[in-house]
């Protein structure tokens, strides 16, 4: 439920109120759908969202250009994993801005998304845009990357997609997954309105939960990736899950504030690297 104070805040911003109502309704359609229906529903609900909310941040960023600094940071994060013979696939590529930056550094780059609208216009010599059903990964790759994607999947589909990611990777290939941590959320249109995600973040995870899902999909090795300013490293996933456990024991409001402290937000942000052996 939206509190009366929050409802008033929504009414003060008609665009946000409209976006909130449209996304919540579409997200409920996904949450209550069958597995078979979702094979086509991901594409249709996102296309409907972009029609109903033409000022959606993804479309605005597409027209204005995603912030260069954010893209550059993602490229720097990925750079150690990019080689001339790398076949790179980005799931949930959105406007493909990052995939286009990565493309010159690899042999082949695939941009996979459910929406033709948001990917329209993407172009690079070795870039291929692939429209999928949101679950299948119809390519073979040595490095698969997703940023702000896992939270958009129906929980029933998350396992299926991770199994498909595992199958799409060549032996020795890596899946690098970035997704927001539930402890300092919600991170979708519900932020500042609801206590839990009610929009297109169908489920927000913790490091522990996602690491467990990755292992159940067949990945034998899962590491945490941490970047603080220009320093970045991998850590045993147990380090960040132990930190999560401590924060999770705090009362909800205190835990939320603590987990949003800049250093802890960086440490707890879910950035997991799973390797197929």
pLDDT of 1 over the 80 cut: no
Helices (H), 123-172: 155-168
Q: Which residues pair with 274 in a beta bridge?
A: 175, 222
User: Maximum Cα–Cα distance for the chain, whole Å?
Assistant: 56
Domain spans in the chain, listed from the N-terminal domain onward: 4-275
Stretch 80-98: mean pLDDT, rounded? 94
> What confidence score (pLDDT) does residue 123 get?
82
pLDDT of 160 over the 90 cut: yes
**CB burial class (10 A; 0-12, 13-18, 19+) of residue 208?**
middle
Confidence band, pLDDT 50/70/90 cuts, at residue 61? low
With a pLDDT cut of 90, the percent of the chain lying above it is 76
**Higher local confidence (pLDDT), 215 or 123:** 215
> What confidence score (pLDDT) does residue 208 get?
97
Q: What is the rounded distance in angstroms from the CA atom of residue 97 to the CA atom of residue 104?
A: 13
Q: Which two tokens stand for residue 136?
A: 């299948």
> What confidence score (pLDDT) does residue 12 get?
54
Stretch 128-143: mean pLDDT, rounded? 94
Distances, alpha carbon 108 to alpha carbons 86, 171, 177, in Å = 7, 17, 19
> What confidence score (pLDDT) does residue 62 get?
56
Q: pTM of the prediction? A: 0.89
Task: Return the CA Rg of the chain.
Answer: 18
Q: What is the CATH number of domain 4-275?
A: 3.40.50.150
Q: What is the rounded distance in angstroms from the CA atom of residue 88 to the CA atom of residue 141?
A: 6
Stretch 118-126: mean pLDDT, rounded? 85
pLDDT digits (tens, 9 = 90+) for 195-243: 999 999 999 999 999 999 999 999 989 999 998 888 899 999 999 999 9
What is the average pLDDT score of the chain?
A: 90
With a pLDDT cut of 70, the percent of the chain lying above it is 93
Write the Ramachandran bin of 233: left for phi over 0, alpha for psi from -120 to 50, otherwise beta. beta
């Amino acid at each position: 439920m939206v509190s009366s104070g929050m409802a008033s805040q929504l009414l003060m911003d008609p665009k946000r109120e409209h976006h909130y109502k449209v996304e919540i309704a579409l997200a409920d359609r996904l949450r209550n759908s069958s597995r078979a229906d979702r094979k086509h529903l991901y594409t249709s609900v996102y296309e409907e969202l972009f029609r109903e909310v033409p000022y959606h941040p993804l479309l605005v960023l597409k027209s204005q250009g995603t912030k260069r600094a954010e893209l550059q940071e993602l490229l720097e994060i990925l750079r150690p994993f990019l080689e001339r013979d790398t076949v790179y696939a980005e799931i949930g590529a959105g406007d493909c801005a990052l995939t286009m930056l990565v493309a010159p550094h690899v042999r082949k780059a695939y941009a996979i998304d459910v929406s033709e609208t948001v990917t329209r216009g993407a172009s690079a010599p070795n870039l291929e845009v692939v429209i999928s059903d949101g679950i299948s990964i119809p390519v073979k790759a040595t490095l698969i990357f997703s940023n702000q994607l896992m939270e958009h999947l129906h929980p029933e589909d998350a396992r299926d997609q991770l199994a498909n990611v595992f199958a799409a990777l060549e032996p020795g290939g890596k899946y690098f997954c970035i997704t927001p941590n539930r402890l300092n959320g919600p991170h979708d249109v519900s932020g500042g309105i609801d206590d839990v995600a009610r929009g297109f973040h169908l489920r927000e995870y913790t490091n522990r939960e996602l690491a467990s899902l990755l292992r159940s999909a067949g990945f034998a090795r899962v590491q945490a990736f941490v970047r603080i300013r220009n320093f970045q490293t991998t850590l045993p996933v147990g380090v960040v899950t132990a930190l999560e456990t401590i924060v999770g024991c705090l009362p909800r409001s205190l835990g939320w504030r603590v987990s949003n402290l800049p250093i802890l937000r960086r440490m707890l942000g879910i950035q997991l690297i799973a390797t197929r052996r």
